[in-house]
Structure 1
Amino acid sequence: MSTKRKKSKRKSRLSESRTRYFQQADPADGVVQQDDVIVVDAPLEDAETDDSDDEDMRSLGGIQDDVSGGEDSVETPPRPKRAWSPSQPIQEISDDEENDESLASVPPQPPQPKWHTLNCSFIPKYGENIINLATSDVAQLKAKHADNETGTILAMSKGETVALVGTYRLTVLQGSIFLNGAELSESLIEHHIFAPRCSPIPVLTALAKPVAGPSTTPSWRTKFSAPIGSLFDTADVVLLLQELHTGVEGLGKVCRTFDGVFSASSDEDQLLRLDTAQMISTPASNLQPFHLPASWNDALLSHDQTCENSDRELLASQPFIAIIKGPRRTGKSTFARTLLNRLTRTYRRVAFLECDLGQTEFTPPGMVALHLIEQPIFGPPFCHPRSPLRAHFIGATSPRTSPSHYTNAIQSLLQTYRLEAQYSESLESSDRSGESEDLRIDGLVPLVVNTMGWVKGLGADLNRQIEDMVEPTHIFAMRPDAASDREFDFSRPFPPPGPEPQLGFGMNGNTSPVTFDLEPIASGPLSAKFTAADWRTISLMSYFHSRLPSKKHSPYQPSTTWNSTLPLLARSPFVVTPNVAFDSVVLVGPWADDVVPSEIGRVLNGAVVALVQCESGSMDGSNGRPKDGWPCIPYDQGSAPPDPQTSSCIGLALIRAVSPSLVSPDDSTTSGNAHVLHIVTPVPTSMLATARCMVKGEVELPIWGMLDWREFENGKAKDKERAENVPFLQWSRGEGVGADRRRVRRNLMRKAQM
């Protein structure tokens, strides 16, 4: 009897200890009650916090299992319903924060700001406020115009708003308008507007009519006939809209995720003589307009008042360096573009330093770059790729694997800005036809720094290092979390930075930067459909299909056209002999040191590489060539990436094919002149000769770049079936338990930790 009592007590203690850590699953639904794993791609903020786990453990600590089934057994209370299920769709999470254990317990997030519905107040009336121009009328306006070029005149009153979807050219003939945070005044300068449905639609807002006077009336106005000439007397703002043919809409064929984003709804009436854009004449709940939050507007107005109340010579002698920081998906890139547009009204050139590797603005992902901007930017990042003034290839969408290389590259770009761009007046200017006199400040180039959204752990340390290196005069911080909402009430008017407008660091006795707390921007129903990976894909595809300017020294000009008539696999490549064209091939990444020279051909096959120009003698070895590398490819295992102080990345390239002899030297099916690479790149030919180093990182070509989209457009069922049934490619998401990645929770308490 004593033995049975001992066994019963031992069994009871064992049962109690088990229920202390895990609760037995309901036999009817045993899978749903698992709490030891969560979905990897779901935001960790949505996972159960440590507090809830502790409460469950405390509630289960004194409960015994119903072993004997007697009347003294205690029933287990029902657990609350799980916040997730294995059958629910998976959401993405940034790789930067995937291994950050500090995200295990995060306070609940505040409600997201409400997005606005696109509702324009401009009422189109053909013949009254909308008039189509003939070719002769356009010729009177512009000295440079294409044959048979037409346009449409829009006459607006103060306060009216109008929006278009698509691509178009905009010229302000009279008055001024407000567009994406920038005020565009009367000028014959053309502005290229890109308005896809996947991003906030630019809204044109008419401002007040300028004061009339004989000296302010251009001579070309008198050449118009009576119907058009009378519009300048009655309307506050007169706009000229023209078609913009760039080929950017063809990117929807290349990347089907963005198919049709430049086309409006079919039920909209076509009131304009534009094939590339369509006016939104009715309220559209499925489109999100560009809305400037109150805190954003107040922060920008504070700087405008500073510029207006300050002496021009003082502005031209003191630096303006702004840094934008905050978590991901809060609108940092959108505010950076808005700030750029606002600064281009005061300064002739504005420098932009891109520190976000995953969501770049002007370059493909994986690069940090310094750009010079002269004109306002209207459109999402994939609509304005350009060659940088100077750039460095990190090779990944996160600096997690190479933080020192990341900070050294940014330090090198800041040095380039301070030595070559900040106070330089000899920079080559782009074509400014149509503007007789540019009164903007030319001697000083302000700087806008956009940081990454990784704000915890190592990411926070890197952002602090960047802020120390930049030494900003203005800090614009996004505060979406609950703690910041308690510190700053967005319902109240934005407080001014001081009793009088201050210019910032180092001016008027100021030794600390001016800081602005900004509210996050809301995301619409269409823009929320696209993940960060989708934006990286379309950015990379836009870069490889773009036609960059051919001038070697043209850092201000973005790509104006895209060639989407052929997929990448059908392009005519450059045939390159690697041991002749390159002095060094470098691999960067956590796996780079494990690639032996005999496998370098397989690694480069189908790879996205960076073309880097290095100073003579800066690479290790004789002329950068390895001593014991692969005989046909100058590769040295474990070599360090190029030093940012002595190198610069001029662009990316795709190695579309590698000769079999470079993969297997014993292959006897190739001829003697077959040690070549087939390379596709949008980098101008005049710059390719300077790139003697090739760097391969973690950035890979998306699946869309490997497909022949022409088969999708073919009406034949056989070709369409072959295009959809690509081997080893699944179009839809995985189904069933175990189809998606999962990870083990790391905040569960073990027995030794109790």
Structure 2
Amino acid sequence: MADVMVYSKEGLSRLGWTRVRRARSPLGVGRRARRRARSLTVGSQRRLRLRLQQAEAAGVAWLDEEDAAEAVVVGAEWSAREKKARKKKARRRERAERERREREEEQHCEEREWSQLRQLREPPTRRVRDGDAEERAAPEPRPGAGGESEGPEEPPRAPGQGKPFLVRAKAGLLMLLSHAQSLTFTGKCRMTCLYGRVQVFGFIISQGQPAYDLYSPHTICALTIEAINYVMPEKTLKDMKLEVRSLIRDHLSSANAFHVIKQFSPMCSIVLLESLETPATDFILSYPAFSHLFSGKKQELSSSFNLEQLTMSSVGIKKCEEESGFHLSESSIAAIEELITACCEEIDGCPIIMACGPKCIGKSTFNRYLINQLLNSIPCVDFLDCDLGQTEFTPPGCVSLSNVTDPIFGPPFTHQRKTRKMVFYGDSSCEDDCKKYTEIVKYVFSAYQREAPLVINTMGWVKGDGLLLLIDLIRMLAPTHIVQFSSEQCQDMPLLTPEYTAGMAGLQTKGKTKGKNRHLESTESESSGDPDEGSQPHSAGHKLLLVQSEFSGAGVAQLTQWHSPVLRDMALLGYLALLQPPEAKPFLPLHHLVPFQIPFGSVALRVIHTDVAPTHTMYTVNASWIGLCRILEDVKQKTDGPIFLTDNPVCDCMGFGIIRGISMVKKVYYVLTPLSHEKLRNVNCLMIGNITIPHCVFKTQPKIEGEIPYVTSEYNFSIWGSGKLRVRKLLQRREYL
């Protein structure tokens, strides 16, 4: 190899470097080493030049030893790479340590869950006969552990602790509830139980049952979804998690499903909550007075939400305090347990249960909860609604008998349904004609076939003549159990014991005589069974169950002054919502629906709440709420005008509607009703009562230009029989509007 001149670092010019490169042209480094050299910093390149000069001076054969030259280049950047490697190894060690801790924690949780599982499956103690000594049985080893002891176990976590685990699903919200955990909410949603078992308002929903619609408006107590005990399958925890994974796979992403499986433990329940939009609810919420029925106050809507509230609001619900939910008093729990036992045993036939008490005491809520509890054990329950003002399955002003097969998860306006028998009384109170009311109740009660337990709801009128009328109903219906409600604010109602109801005279019946005249009037009292003649056969007796209502406002009658009329309006709107076609998106206003045309000669008219001259009857009928009834008499047309009835017949009511117009030229009534054309053929009588159409139906008519039909501010109120509609100013101060 030729001699090479080595230049020192100092004083080396550009020309000198060129001469050096030409002199060592056969001694160049490899291409890979040159690329690495270009990536070095200026200081590293300077140090590398010095090393190359020293290596050339030592006589290194670069073309033969290219790997050695590359090692020199790599050595220049070794410090940086060594730092990265050290950091990478440190991260690996941290990750391995973290995974080890997670495995230990998961194993510890699994052992604790298995201990809880064994406690749920087996009795807590085992008696060992060894003389007189008694010892607690040791816990059995975990399956698959080879019979080895697991060591000391931690005490199980108290059920119901913590919050439910919520996660967003593909089409809603998935909620995991541990044993005894619950969620109290307001709003509306559709719930499906995917795993385990939950209870909603007394009804138990298990895995595999269909989805249920839940309505929790601000007008009633909030609904609560609570996880309850269920029979544990004979599976390992791993098999349970595999089953849960397959059930939630279609509803969650893989990442969210992993978190749910991680939170799962024995006795957990998983439910799917979806948003609920129906034409009926859209129709009711379209009116400004009820637009915030499920969402709450307007100021609450603008408040800041946390992540949990935003997740729940995506399906239309809002979490509230547990105090807002339905809570049973000790007396209520005892009464319900006894009634369920009586209905399931049926020793003396089907029980007849009557709920009695003053207004705003909780009778309707108790009846709904009792029906849901009974449906857990029996397929159906009959319900006789004798409360004209606050009806359950029909618009107000009716006495009806219904067969209930589905649970009740909402107020009356959410479950208007077909009844077995119904009569339209035409008013929310029977004070003006109690005799007609008892005739209607007796007529409807005759349809009861005693194939299922009967729950009877009564009015809150229990003072004066109302108490006497209640005694008449007890003698007429002969209940086996009477549930009497009372509260601290209302204690003036006497106890309806069998002795009191037997000896007390009613409005149309006589009680058993006492003292000297008992034998003189007993023959007369037992000879007649007609209430018009003054007596009814006395029942063999009933069992009285006393319930003390403990919720806020129980028995305060002043609340009904504004609460009851609003509930009646919502029940009417709930029935009018049945007019909406199932495929209507969005809903159709009432004046956009096509009415039925009923000829004058095919139906008879009767105004049942007051006397109206025939010349003014057509003015009364127009824009009125009517009952579509079926009378036994044949309607015969003698003239071209309408047919009028002279009395109030007790007849079956097929449904309801609104007369939205009358054509005197065509001689037809234009009627809006959800009844089908086939059922409408059986209607031959239109009854007009004292039930008025809600004011919002008249005042809120979209796409109307000019004056609103049937609404005017210029009217001569001096005309006899005219009067202003009562305006309820308290509506503006209601907390749910």
Q: TM-score, normalised by structure 1?
A: 0.59
Matched to 1:302, the amino acid is E
Q: How does 1:634-645 map to 2 (within 5 A)?
A: 634-636=643-645, 639-643=646-650
Identity of counterpart residues, as a percentage? 24
**Structure-2 change in CA distance of 1:563 and 1:601 (3 Å):** farther
Aligned to 2:479: 472
Is 2:641 the partner of 1:632? yes
Between 1 and 2, higher relative CO (CA 8 Å, sep ≥ 6) is seen in: 1
Task: Give 1:681 shift.
Answer: 1.1
Q: How does 1:628-667 map to 2 (within 5 A)?
A: 631-636=640-645, 639-643=646-650, 647-659=651-663, 661=664
Q: Among residues 343, 351, 355, which one is paired with 1:324 in the alignment?
A: 355
Aligned to 2:587: 565
Q: How does 1:59-458 map to 2 (within 5 A)?
A: 129-134=165-170, 150-213=171-234, 221=244, 223-224=246-247, 225=249, 227=258, 233-234=265-266, 236-253=268-285, 255-264=287-296, 265-266=300-301, 267-269=304-306, 270-272=309-311, 275-280=314-319, 283=321, 288-304=324-340, 314-315=345-346, 318-418=349-449, 422-423=450-451, 445-458=452-465
State the SS of the aligned residue for 1:417.
coil
Task: Give 1:563 shift.
Answer: 8.6
**Structure-2 change in CA distance of 1:154 and 1:719 (3 Å):** farther
State the SS of the aligned residue for 1:532.
helix
State the SS of the aligned residue for 2:394.
coil
Provide structure 2 residue ranges, at least 5 long, that are not aligned to the other structure.
1-158, 250-256, 496-538, 716-723, 731-737
Task: Give 1:401 shift.
Answer: 2.3
Q: Distance in 2 between matches of 1:250 and 1:275?
A: 17
**Pairwise CA RMSD of aligned residues?**
3.9
Task: Give 1:171 shift.
Answer: 2.0
State the SS of the aligned residue for 1:476.
strand
Task: Give 1:720 shift.
Answer: 12
Q: Distance in 2 between matches of 1:722 and 1:463?
A: 43
Contact 1:199 1:288 in 2 (8 A): no
State the SS of the aligned residue for 1:240.
strand
- CA offsets 1:536-592 (integer angstroms, 9 cap, x no match): 11111221122599xxxxxxxxxx99998333333321122221x32x222212x23
Contact 1:131 1:153 in 2 (8 A): yes
State the SS of the aligned residue for 1:468.
helix
Contact 1:578 1:677 in 2 (8 A): yes
Q: How does 1:542-581 map to 2 (within 5 A)?
A: 542-547=574-579, 565-579=587-601, 581=602
Matched to 2:689, the amino acid is G
**Structure-2 change in CA distance of 1:690 and 1:232 (3 Å):** farther
Matched to 1:330, the amino acid is I
Task: Give 1:513 shift.
Answer: 2.1
State the SS of the aligned residue for 1:641.
coil
Matched to 1:657, the amino acid is G
State the SS of the aligned residue for 1:631.
coil
Aligned to 1:701: 693
Q: Among residues 598, 614, 617, which one is paired with 1:600 in the alignment?
A: 617
State the SS of the aligned residue for 1:351.
strand
**Structure-2 change in CA distance of 1:181 and 1:273 (3 Å):** closer
Task: Give 1:365 shift.
Answer: 0.7
Contact 1:246 1:562 in 2 (8 A): no
Aligned to 2:148: none
Q: Distance in 2 between matches of 1:530 and 1:635?
A: 36
State the SS of the aligned residue for 1:416.
coil
Contact 1:249 1:262 in 2 (8 A): no
Contact 1:390 1:413 in 2 (8 A): yes
Is 2:697 the partner of 1:679? no
Task: Give 1:199 shift.
Answer: 1.7
Is 2:543 the partner of 1:514? yes
State the SS of the aligned residue for 2:447.
helix
Q: Distance in 1 between matches of 2:599 and 2:712?
A: 35
State the SS of the aligned residue for 1:657.
strand
Aligned to 1:42: none
Q: Distance in 2 between matches of 1:261 and 1:561?
A: 23
Q: Distance in 2 between matches of 1:211 and 1:540?
A: 46
Structure whose residues are more often helix by fraction: 2
Contact 2:172 2:315 in 1 (8 A): no
Aligned to 1:39: none
Task: Give 1:337 shift.
Answer: 0.8
State the SS of the aligned residue for 1:410.
helix
Contact 2:342 2:351 in 1 (8 A): no
**Structure-2 change in CA distance of 1:382 and 1:268 (3 Å):** farther
Matched to 2:400, the amino acid is A
Provide structure 1 residue ranges, at least 5 long, that are not aligned to the other structure.
1-119, 135-149, 424-444, 489-509, 550-559, 662-669, 713-717, 736-754
Q: Distance in 2 between matches of 1:632 and 1:485?
A: 54
Q: Distance in 1 between matches of 2:583 and 2:553?
A: 28
Task: Give 1:451 shift.
Answer: 0.3
How many residues align structurally?
500
**Structure-2 change in CA distance of 1:513 and 1:273 (3 Å):** same
Q: Among residues 597, 606, 621, which one is paired with 1:586 in the alignment?
A: 606
Task: Give 1:350 shift.
Answer: 0.6
Task: Give 1:516 shift.
Answer: 1.2
Matched to 2:479, the amino acid is P
**Structure-2 change in CA distance of 1:679 and 1:375 (3 Å):** same
**Structure-2 change in CA distance of 1:547 and 1:123 (3 Å):** farther
Contact 1:330 1:521 in 2 (8 A): no
**Structure-2 change in CA distance of 1:734 and 1:410 (3 Å):** closer
Q: Distance in 1 between matches of 2:305 and 2:228?
A: 26
State the SS of the aligned residue for 1:536.
helix
Q: Distance in 1 between matches of 2:660 and 2:493?
A: 53
**Structure-2 change in CA distance of 1:197 and 1:723 (3 Å):** farther
Contact 2:483 2:546 in 1 (8 A): yes
Q: Distance in 2 between matches of 1:207 and 1:180?
A: 13
State the SS of the aligned residue for 2:324.
coil
Task: Give 1:253 shift.
Answer: 4.6
Task: Give 1:233 shift.
Answer: 4.3
Q: Distance in 1 between matches of 2:410 and 2:206?
A: 19
Contact 1:253 1:709 in 2 (8 A): no
- Structure with higher Rg: it is 2
Contact 2:353 2:483 in 1 (8 A): yes
Q: Distance in 1 between matches of 2:424 and 2:561?
A: 29
Task: Give 1:676 shift.
Answer: 1.7
Contact 2:698 2:710 in 1 (8 A): no
Q: Distance in 2 between matches of 1:570 and 1:295?
A: 51
